[in-house]
Amino acid sequence: MVAAPNPLSFDTAFSPPTGVPEPVAPGVVRVTAPNRGPYTFTGTNSFLLGGPASVAVLDPGPDDAAHLAALLAAISGRRVEAILLTHTHRDHSALAPKLQAATGAPLWFAGRHRLSRKPRPLERNSVDSHSDWDLVPDRHLRDGESITVAGLDLTVITTPGHCANHICLGLTGSGDVLTGDHVMGWNSTLVSVPDGSMADYLDSLRKLIALPYRRYLPAHGGPIGDGPGYAEALLAHRLRRNQQIVAAVAGGARRIGDLLRELYPGLAPTLVPAARMVLAAHVEYLEAHGAIAVRRGLAGLTLAPS
């Protein structure tokens, strides 16, 4: 008999000081950016990886002068061997060019920003302006690649879903993995088509769960002690949402707005756009699996039972 996953419980008590270096693991220091918001929680967690002689910087964060100053103060004159990105949404990557100019470090990530699929006619990419389309890596990181930077051994884990070029980085031999936006303890991950893909996201969750990493260090929110257990709960939540959407459509829901009212009652207005994006990603997934039918027109999506 397979045990049911733990109930999904978000940690919203995490409250780090902004701009202050905080050790979170051997050779790993977190510096949280001042970009608190409904999509970023307490701000983007940038990480300094390394030791007394040199470091790498993971996810330098938003283009913010105070955060650049905080990162340079935390680097404290050490050589920066590389600037790493989990992905190229601007709350993670926008500061990279200025940090690169200040340090001379090369930029490493999993290829230029790209869509998870071609856009359909008249389809709008809701996160287009939040993506760094022009960044080009000096080194293209690939799945399963082992890299050594600033004395730390890391394993590259491609985890598309939130966006197509998303990666996690496993700290070899430690049981810790840096999860970017793929798994966050404060909320479930935004998946917005065509930038992201719900099918890819679910596959990437399963992939990470199967790997030998116990503690997850996300780019928003605090550490997740039982990472695989939490990711199992996230996966179960998303699969349950699929079932709820199929049932809602069978009961008469015909628009994304109908699903929103039924499945997210009382949702704060600031979160309505994100909920619409995620529902659209679920709808696309269910259509591809033959669970519902979708007609596209000038007025948007019309849903029907399969």
pLDDT of residue 298: 87
Per-residue confidence band for 1, with pLDDT thresholds at 50, 70 and 90: very low
Per-residue confidence band for 257, with pLDDT thresholds at 50, 70 and 90: very high
pLDDT of residue 211: 98
pTM of this prediction? 0.96
Average pLDDT rounded to a whole number, residues 183-204: 97
pLDDT of residue 2: 44
- Tens-digit pLDDT profile for residues 27-82: 999 999 999 999 999 999 999 999 999 999 999 999 999 999 999 999 999 999 99
Average pLDDT rounded to a whole number, residues 274-284: 98
Could you give the percent of the chain with pLDDT greater than 70?
A: 98
Average pLDDT rounded to a whole number, residues 276-304: 96
* pLDDT for 4 beyond 70: no
Give the residue among 125, 280, 281, 140 at the shortest CA–CA distance from 201. Answer: 281
- State the average pLDDT for the chain: 96
In this structure, which topology does domain 22-237 adopt according to CATH? Metallo-beta-lactamase; Chain A (3.60.15)
Average pLDDT rounded to a whole number, residues 154-161: 98
Contact predicate 270/40, CB 8 Å: no
* pLDDT for 130 beyond 50: yes
Residue 135: how many CB atoms within 10 A of its CB? 20
SS (H, E, C) 30-67: EEECCCCECCCECCCEEEEEECCCEEEEECCCCCCHHH
Per-residue confidence band for 165, with pLDDT thresholds at 50, 70 and 90: very high
Least confident span in 4-8, 138-142, 183-187, 213-217: 4-8
Three-class secondary structure of residue 244 per DSSP: helix
Average pLDDT rounded to a whole number, residues 195-207: 98
Could you give the percent of the chain with pLDDT greater than 90?
A: 95
- Tens-digit pLDDT profile for residues 208-221: 999 999 999 999 99
* pLDDT for 5 beyond 70: no
pLDDT of residue 68: 98
Q: Domain extents for the chain?
A: 22-237, 247-305
Average pLDDT rounded to a whole number, residues 249-267: 96
Which tokens belong to 162?
């939130």
In angstroms, rounded to a whole number, what is the distance separating the alpha carbons of residues 75 and 65?
Answer: 15
